[in-house]
Structure 1
């Protein structure tokens, strides 16, 4: 192992949801391309679900992606870690119990994993890359004198709101109010103004979210049918959820066979890149939002929880390249149909597409050789190497 002497080695651990996993995978590949060694650590149950999805739908898993990366010469290792629950435990239905253990018991598992990893190859210069949402990385990094890289996988606006959550609590704006009263929040440093309806939706349990989503899916489904547009609907049943319950209305696929294609998985970027796509009806997860903007596709927004309402605000209010699917708290198929018809009609469609293309241009320029993103990433790599070499943690 002496050949690894002095080589930086990242131990990467993400929150076990796709919206966090995707940025971690991309960062792993990017860091590896700079000559770093990577150990990508998946939750065991996520690996199991993704492997199952791969078997059913033949989509690539992280194992496939990293295998291809190794074949191209990148130094990436892949492994899993248990969260302490059996694989069959329903983490979605028992959301609070699951996260209670992740927050309080999982850190000791990470501690042991990091200890063994360092011991297995002491010649590497180990450092930690963990999700900002986790509370344990700084403690573990300090214990083993590791540099700690904290990766935030959501927009800066959401980070700012989370950072100043004490102000929101003080003013009675967090946890989010369950009624439909909208108030303007204009006291958060760095944020001009934001409505309470656009604040990160955290007082909602995942179990009730799943139940509610099944209630509204029928209205959205038949709203699409009434709108008479052609559509592709990707229904990821049982891929990152422990439930395999069929969520589409009975007989719906037969009703829309001349207008709609319902599939279990797709390469979202490839679909959005197709010039025939006129819009993207999305829950506004940050991955989907960025991918839609990257392809210049305007959005019809229907956020559920977490950062999604804030992401919707950015799309609709700030960048003006999308609309909200529903103005109220309920979903009605007739309203859905009218919104989609209006969105897809000539003048609005052209206007939204123009605004989406403005953002697309900014994103693409940022990733050019002399673009702001590439410059900042190269500076990050330089600073990271300096810190690792100096042996300074955090």
Structure 2
């Protein structure tokens, strides 16, 4: 999934800069999407997305494997069979590749498997080939510990029971209290639940766990996890010059918004995007559209071409784009980091995917939260309740165009949102300081590297 690609790329760069030889494994389908987007956006595609990086001296090799489905299979519209395939078959493809790498690389033997936490069974593969297993969690520690303790949520009736308790959850280690409405939304006995359950059984066997979060901002939760595991907070996993990253990773052709943004005053534009996977129902889309129009605020709205399985023009009210012409720019996809780092952007209406949260705070942009699925709800808790860098659009039973309008006006007015903007600047400093030479994430990363080298030497 798109939200897992960029963190993996940045992690590879950081590890390679420490002298590790990296073999980055992508799926053939994701690679095909990236190369198609390159061909559309910027001329000839490149079969090796790290080719320019190697010119700078970093040793990152690039391989692709099948995810078990043909390239033409629509993974978005057939998400359940796709996830079933990831649970039941994908680890076999990874196993086969790791075995080949271990066997064939006599000069540079593979001695560590860094796997996304949601990959099923990496610890079994690592044990089979006697290599170190590092689990890479691309989301915050709060989400990690909630998934880790799904059994406690089930035992207490907050998840997977007919009761489905709505009172606050106050029994999860490292979490003082969390509202039931902020728990990750996962259907009991669904394919997503199966994947998460199996992944978090496996993560208990990992040699090391690293996470895209910041020690100071989730100290109690992280400390609790560290009582059981070698867990390092090494986030935010971004490059200091991430806007100029030359490694192609976008799955769709990107519309260049810079020229349009250059015509807008500082902090006057609201950026609206709900990520690469999650879907919004048509009723909410219509309320959002009318709310944006009523607010009279300038905006960029990313509406993916496959949003509802139909052309995006059919989602919006008739003649909508003409009515907001000049004030609203509606695009199928864009370079998000380049957009939200632009001085004209004053707010981000987001689904609260973790990458979007991290990138927004990194750029000092406050959020309006419109969480949809899985980790989005817990991420909203961090943004709204804990760090106070955003407001909540889903604080009631439903959204209306009037509520959307009010939330936008509140955020985009410097008078009404002055405290929010001061706070986001403070949290932004915490993010940046964590990556300073003596910052917590930089120190943690060095500790992780030392432990990894020690475990590799003993493997």
Whether these two folds match at TM > 0.5 is yes
Match of 1:227 in 2: 295
Equivalent residues in 2 for 1:153-168 (5 A)? Answer: 153-168=138-153
**How big is the shift at 1:245?**
3.2
Counterpart CA distance in 2 for 1:361 and 1:63 is: 38
CA contact (8 A) 1:53 1:59 kept: no
Match of 1:42 in 2: 26
**How big is the shift at 1:230?**
0.7
For 1:11-48, what per-residue CA distance to the aligned partner results, in whole angstroms no more than 9, with x for missing partners?
xxxxxx11111111110111111111111111111112
**How big is the shift at 1:55?**
2.9
Alpha-carbon spacing, 1:355–1:96, altered in 2? closer, same or farther (3 Å): same
Match of 1:10 in 2: none
CA contact (8 A) 2:366 2:389 kept: yes
CA contact (8 A) 2:114 2:134 kept: yes
For 1:280-303, what per-residue CA distance to the aligned partner results, in whole angstroms no more than 9, with x for missing partners?
111000000011111111100001
Equivalent residues in 2 for 1:304-319 (5 A)? Answer: 304-319=372-387
Match of 2:452 in 1: 384
**How big is the shift at 1:351?**
1.1
Alpha-carbon spacing, 1:206–1:106, altered in 2? closer, same or farther (3 Å): closer
Aligned with residue 364 of structure 1, among 416, 427, 432: 432
Asked if 1:267 corresponds to 2:345, the answer is no
Equivalent residues in 2 for 1:184-333 (5 A)? Answer: 184-203=168-187, 212-238=280-306, 245-246=311-312, 248-249=315-316, 250-333=318-401
Counterpart CA distance in 2 for 1:152 and 1:311 is: 14
For 1:326-345, what per-residue CA distance to the aligned partner results, in whole angstroms no more than 9, with x for missing partners?
32242221221122112222
**How big is the shift at 1:57?**
3.6
Counterpart CA distance in 2 for 1:106 and 1:74 is: 29
**How big is the shift at 1:211?**
6.0
CA contact (8 A) 1:278 1:349 kept: no
CA contact (8 A) 1:176 1:201 kept: no
> 5+ unaligned residues in a row in structure 1: which ranges?
1-16
Match of 1:3 in 2: none
Alpha-carbon spacing, 1:125–1:219, altered in 2? closer, same or farther (3 Å): same
Match of 1:13 in 2: none
Counterpart CA distance in 2 for 1:317 and 1:206 is: 30
Counterpart CA distance in 1 for 2:18 and 2:176 is: 38
What RMSD in Å do the two structures reach over aligned CA positions?
2.6
CA contact (8 A) 2:54 2:60 kept: yes
**How big is the shift at 1:85?**
1.1
Q: Secondary structure of the equivalent of 1:172?
A: coil
**How big is the shift at 1:61?**
8.9
CA contact (8 A) 1:63 1:78 kept: no
Counterpart CA distance in 2 for 1:178 and 1:343 is: 37
| Bigger shift: residues 247-256 or 335-344 | 247-256
**How big is the shift at 1:63?**
6.1
Alpha-carbon spacing, 1:154–1:211, altered in 2? closer, same or farther (3 Å): closer
**How big is the shift at 1:369?**
1.0
Alpha-carbon spacing, 1:252–1:291, altered in 2? closer, same or farther (3 Å): same
**How big is the shift at 1:225?**
0.9
Q: Normalized against structure 1, the TM-score is what?
A: 0.87
Counterpart CA distance in 2 for 1:53 and 1:93 is: 20
Match of 1:70 in 2: 54
Q: Secondary structure of the equivalent of 2:301?
A: strand
Match of 2:245 in 1: none
Asked if 1:110 corresponds to 2:94, the answer is yes
CA contact (8 A) 2:154 2:161 kept: no
Counterpart CA distance in 2 for 1:77 and 1:157 is: 33
Counterpart CA distance in 2 for 1:224 and 1:279 is: 13
| Bigger shift: residues 298-307 or 65-74 | 65-74
Counterpart CA distance in 2 for 1:262 and 1:308 is: 23
Counterpart CA distance in 1 for 2:311 and 2:105 is: 45
For 1:220-267, what per-residue CA distance to the aligned partner results, in whole angstroms no more than 9, with x for missing partners?
1221111000111223435xx895632641432212112111223333
CA contact (8 A) 2:157 2:163 kept: no
> 5+ unaligned residues in a row in structure 2: which ranges?
193-276
Alpha-carbon spacing, 1:367–1:60, altered in 2? closer, same or farther (3 Å): farther
Q: Secondary structure of the equivalent of 1:221?
A: helix
Match of 1:6 in 2: none
**How big is the shift at 1:206?**
10
Match of 2:211 in 1: none
Match of 1:88 in 2: 72
Counterpart CA distance in 2 for 1:221 and 1:176 is: 36
Equivalent residues in 2 for 1:173-188 (5 A)? Answer: 173-175=158-160, 182-188=166-172
CA contact (8 A) 1:37 1:76 kept: yes
Q: Normalized against structure 2, the TM-score is what?
A: 0.75
